[in-house]
């Protein structure tokens, strides 16, 4: 979820990213954990799979085979395989890269439900933060490490177990240190949530 971020916090986080990425290539800081306000940031261990790649600290093993019990997903989506930890618990998330557009997907499961049997609002809010921060993260190569400054979500409708959700985001404005983005979460053609976010970019310089 989004978190308030002081200038000192951002400088400390940026220094940590710089120090970690200057070391062994197999160890890095997870910016998606940073974007969720985790401090101190976890490090990711050695990768043994040749398909594993690190983009600014966000580990992704794209086009890896589905697990036997993986959720049913539409054609073209592959596991996002974000860094382990909270995003493993809140997902699993999937990614589809089309021409000029990247979409993130989530199959709502029973573990996402609240006490009345619909998806908890925190599940959608987390999905919104993941999608918005990923839009910033993925906007450059090498990919950017980002942390959340603000997250604004508007709940328009609920969703239940079994529903397939897709998030699309736009990078509205990006400077050297701050990025502004917006997006929607849909179930089919229905918009369930609109969201906006402001993110700090942790550059080494």
For the ranges 67-71, 116-120, 123-127, 174-178, the lowest mean pLDDT is seen at 67-71
- 85 burial type by CB count under 10 A (0-12 exposed, 13-18 middle, 19+ buried): middle
pLDDT at 89: 83
Give me the CATH code for the 7-201 domain, please: 3.10.129.10
What is the Cα 3 distance to its own chain's centre? 14
Residue 49's pLDDT is 29
DSSP state string for 25-63: TT-EE-HHHHHTT-SSPPEE-----TT-EEETTEEE-TT
* 173 pLDDT higher than 60: yes
Nearest in space to 170 (alpha carbons), one of 194, 135, 126: 135
User: Is the separation of the CB atoms in 86 and 114 below 8 Å?
Assistant: no
- Give the pLDDT band (50/70/90) at residue 35: very low
- The pLDDT of residue 5 is above 70: no
> Of 47-56, 60-69, 109-118, 193-202, where does mean pLDDT reach its minimum?
47-56
pTM of the model: 0.67
Collapse the DSSP code of 73 into the 3-class scheme (helix H, G, I; strand E, B; otherwise coil) and give the result: coil
* Cα–Cα distance, 174 to 203 (Å, whole number): 13
Structure token digits, residue 50 = 């040749």
Does residue 15 carry a pLDDT above 60? Answer: no
Q: How large is the average pLDDT for residues 187-204?
A: 95
Q: Is 15 left (phi over 0), alpha (psi -120 to 50) or beta?
A: alpha
Measured between alpha carbons, how far is 73 from 50 in angstroms, rounded to an integer?
24
How large is the average pLDDT for residues 60-75?
A: 58
- Give tens-digit pLDDT for 126-135: 999 999 999 9
């Amino acid at each position: 979820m989004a978190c308030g971020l002081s200038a000192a916090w951002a400088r400390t986080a940026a220094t940590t990213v710089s120090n970690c990425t200057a070391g062994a290539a197999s160890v890095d800081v997870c910016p998606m954990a940073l974007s969720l306000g985790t401090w101190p940031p976890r490090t990711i261990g050695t990768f043994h799979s040749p398909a594993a790649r690190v983009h600014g600290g966000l580990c992704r093993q794209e086009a890896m085979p589905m697990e036997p019990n993986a959720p049913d997903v539409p054609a073209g989506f592959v596991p996002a395989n974000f860094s382990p930890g909270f995003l493993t618990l809140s997902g699993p998330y999937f990614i589809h890269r089309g021409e000029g557009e990247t979409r993130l997907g989530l199959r709502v499961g029973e573990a996402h439900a609240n006490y009345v049997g619909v998806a908890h609002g925190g599940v959608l809010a987390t999905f919104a933060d993941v999608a918005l921060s990923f839009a910033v993260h993925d906007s450059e190569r090498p990919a950017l490490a980002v942390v959340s400054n603000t997250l604004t979500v508007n709940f328009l409708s609920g969703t239940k177990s079994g529903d397939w959700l897709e998030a699309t985001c736009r990078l509205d404005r990006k400077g050297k240190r701050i990025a502004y983005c917006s997006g929607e979460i849909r179930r089919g053609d229905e918009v369930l949530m609109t969201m906006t976010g402001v993110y700090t970019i942790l550059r080494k310089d």
